[in-house]
Amino acid sequence: MQSHAVPLVRQYDGGLNDEGAKKMKSEETGASIPQFFIADSVAYILLQSFLETPSLFLFVFFAASWFKRDERCSVHSSSTVALRRYSVTLALALGLVTPMISVVPSVAAADTVTIMQIEGSDDVSPLVGQVVMTSGVVTASQQEKPTQGTGFYLQDPNGDGDPATSDGVFVFEGKNHPVKVRAGDLVTVTGKVTEFRGLTEISVTPSATTVQVTGHTETLPMPVVLNPPMKTADGLRSLEALEGMLVRMPDGAPVVGPTNRFHEFTIVNPALGVSRVFQKDEGITGVGAIVEVGDQSGFSANVKVGDTVSGIVGPLSYSFGVYRVDPTQALAVTPGPDNAQPVGVNVGADEFTLGAFNIENFFDPILGPGDDKDSTPSQAMYKKRLAKASTAIATQLNAPTLLGIEEAENLTVLNDILAQPALASVPYRAVQLPGLDPRGINVALLYRTDRASVVGDPVTFNECVTLNDNAYPPRDNPYGTQDYCTTLDGKAGNWLFPRPPLVVHLTVRRADSVGGSQPLVVIVNHLKSKTGSDPENNNYTTRRTREAEALARYVDGLVQGGDVNVAVIGDLNDFPGTPPLDALTKGATPGSSLRAVVTEANPPYTYVFSGQSEILDHILLTSGLAASFTGIEVGHFDADYPEELSKDGTKPTRLSDHDPPLARFKGTFGGTPSVIMPAAGRPPGQSIQIAGSWYVPTDNPPDDAPHASLVTLVGCASC
């Protein structure tokens, strides 16, 4: 039988009053260990232990003046007791007079276990929920991190030789650290085993009793070299077996995701021979090899995709679905090539370009109705972003003929961008119509008046649906009841598109004096985003798919009406091969089926999420327009770059988290425009039920003007 000098008892949570007594009694027969922890010692305690019998008798004296409601006490064994489950008699008395409470709760000693026993070989600790005592050497203290640092990593100095069980664990202390520890300290902790969002922890209420430093060593366990396989399931299993342990990534690890605002970036093992991981790899080779590097142990670096990093040593943690190393020493960065090469250069007189750019939460500095601090930058930051955006459009995209914009708050923002010195010589005009986005970021189109003209009135369209997916914020949102609508069959509904698609009919002219023009319809989109706090929403895939289906029907109507050159562009918030994209590329009728061209870019990505390069921003073309299409590029000056650069107004890089795709066309310029104007803003022949909101565009509607008055229910198109 193992014997340990253990701090035996736990704090009794219920207090030493009548109610507490009842609770103690109820726990007498309970199978689970009572949920209490050691707190302040407040009483003189006499302990008798009966080593070979499964019982302990505790007699606790309280001076009358000490006894108060909700008193808490700690009880410690004064002798070596065996590790087993005990029946404990706890007798409380006021002085030496009649005991007030005498109950026999069934509690166990804090089982002394190894860290390997705590971690086990599965995703979840086999001891979860149990109070344990364990010992090890501190590999990294994060007690000094004021914002997120919450404890330290403890590792068994010898391990168990079993690669399936981690030999390390995180000790969670919360904000207070009465016992300071540093790397190399030999520590014994007592606390409850928990799984916090997938990270195995010992959750302690820190005190001199629960965190005991018993010595110090200069020799830390040898870090385990990280080399998770690409295949997702295998990669995750490999990393879980090291969770909590000191690990090392081989030097020269390629960065696959840039430093974010939490000072985290993502890497893979250089031995894998890849310098970028694509989201599409998920279904092929897997993406389980991606490891995040955090700053919780005090070191990080601002890096971009393509840089390589050396010196990554630290404990392996887990949060938000990724395994993370928090380096305990300074990192060495070798810069990679600059991906921010200009696109759309050398456009011929018979060519034109069409791009789609999500400019990420581009709010004005005015705190209007519905705005909050997060959506109102300082004047200084606004000016920096204006400079960045104008330079990005002018130099990185070479001032495209047509540029769809997502996430601009209003026309003032767009006109401010266009008025910057970098764009002053380019004759752009901006088109934007109010939408229903709760934060007021809506889609827009910039067009060069020297190359293109808008024909008729730009419109938006929408449908009233009964989707119940919490796509809109609570009803008291500052935009009032704008999201409410009534379906054509009289049901209470909400608008399908929080950001209705913007439909602009244009003609594009040659750049020289030869003349001729080409008709074109551009539909700018920003479909419902994948983010959502409610997993029941399935990240709004249903709504996004319904939006895409409505778009496909609208395009179908345009094509059937004679508008054969249609481009559907923008942030569709989903990948090729997903239901929304399938609805657009496979679901349409002959002649209006849309070709997604961003997949043809090299390399094909517009966004980097958690180290995965992915396509969220799309350009889709009807076959009529695809006949003029000559190539696709992506301006890779944002997604690969660290968030830190977003504050630098002197560079166009990292204006946004999205890279804009840019398609190039060799126009047919057949002479007379052949645009067929949509009747009453509706595509002719359209059979879908649309409850639309058509707006007359104005050059400069007031910021955050009430939008609801602009919504008009026009009813069923085919009625």
Residues that bind Ca ion (CB under 5 A): 119, 159-160, 162, 165, 167, 198, 200, 243, 318, 364, 366, 368, 371
Pairwise CA distance, residues 16 & 352, whole Å: 81
* Kind plus residue range of the DSSP H or E element containing 379: helix 379-391
Nearest approach in angstroms of CB 199 to Ca ion is 6
Nearest approach in angstroms of CB 413 to Ca ion is 9
Nearest-CA neighbor of 267 among 253, 286, 246? Answer: 253
- Taking the CB of residue 642, how many other CB atoms lie within 10 A of it? 22
Pairwise CA distance, residues 711 & 580, whole Å: 26
Q: Which amino acid is at 10?
A: R
Residue number, 74 or 165, with CB nearest to Ca ion? 165
Nearest approach in angstroms of CB 177 to Ca ion is 23
- Side by side, which strands form the sheet with 332-334? 224-225, 246-248, 313-319, 322-325, 291-293, 265-267, 253-257, 308-310, 332-334
Tell me the Ramachandran region of residue 197: left when phi exceeds 0, alpha when psi lies from -120 to 50, beta otherwise: left
Pairwise CA distance, residues 571 & 556, whole Å: 20
Q: Which residue has the tokens 């949102």?
A: 477
Residue number, 117 or 308, with CB nearest to Ca ion? 117
Nearest-CA neighbor of 572 among 587, 583, 563, 564? Answer: 583
Q: Tell me how far CA of residue 705 lies from CA of 418, 525, 709, in angstroms.
A: 22, 22, 10
Nearest approach in angstroms of CB 243 to Ca ion is 4
Q: Tell me how far CA of residue 506 lies from CA of 298, 441, 520, 676, 697, in angstroms.
A: 55, 24, 5, 11, 15
DSSP string covering 174-185: -S--SS---TTE
Are 399 and 352 contacting, i.e. CB atoms less than 8 angstroms apart?
A: no
Pairwise CA distance, residues 221 & 526, whole Å: 50
Are 148 and 175 contacting, i.e. CB atoms less than 8 angstroms apart?
A: no
Are 438 and 473 contacting, i.e. CB atoms less than 8 angstroms apart?
A: yes
Nearest-CA neighbor of 609 among 302, 276, 197? Answer: 276
Residue number, 294 or 635, with CB nearest to Ca ion? 294
Tokens of 485: 């609508």
Nearest approach in angstroms of CB 544 to Ca ion is 27
Residue number, 192 or 682, with CB nearest to Ca ion? 192
Nearest approach in angstroms of CB 636 to Ca ion is 30
Q: Which residue's CB comes closest to Ca ion?
A: 200
Nearest approach in angstroms of CB 139 to Ca ion is 14
Residue number, 199 or 452, with CB nearest to Ca ion? 199
Tokens of 24: 């103690």
127: Cα separation from own chain's centroid? 30
**Which ranges in 402-459 belong to alpha helices (H)?**
411-418
Nearest approach in angstroms of CB 170 to Ca ion is 9
Greatest extent of the chain over all pairs of C-alpha atoms, in Å = 111
- Side by side, which strands form the sheet with 277-278? 277-278, 612-614, 607-609
Q: Helix or strand or coil: residue 18?
A: helix
Residue number, 160 or 457, with CB nearest to Ca ion? 160
Q: Which residue has the tokens 């991190």?
A: 145
- Integer-rounded Cα Rg, in Å, for the chain is 32
Nearest approach in angstroms of CB 554 to Ca ion is 30
Q: Which amino acid is at 411?
A: L
Residue number, 335 or 369, with CB nearest to Ca ion? 369
Residue number, 168 or 667, with CB nearest to Ca ion? 168
Are 104 and 26 contacting, i.e. CB atoms less than 8 angstroms apart?
A: no
Pairwise CA distance, residues 444 & 409, whole Å: 10
Helix orientation angle between 411-418 and 379-391, rounded to the nearest 10 degrees: 60
Nearest approach in angstroms of CB 642 to Ca ion is 27
Question: Phi and psi (nearest 5°) for 257?
Answer: -145, 135
Nearest approach in angstroms of CB 361 to Ca ion is 11
* Residues paired with 131 in a beta bridge: 192
Pairwise CA distance, residues 580 & 541, whole Å: 8
Nearest approach in angstroms of CB 116 to Ca ion is 5
Nearest approach in angstroms of CB 7 to Ca ion is 25
Nearest approach in angstroms of CB 374 to Ca ion is 11
**Which ranges in 8-156 belong to alpha helices (H)?**
18-28, 115-119
Considering Cα of 679, then 433, then 550, then 691, what sign does the dihedral take?
Answer: negative
Nearest approach in angstroms of CB 408 to Ca ion is 11
Tokens of 278: 């694509």
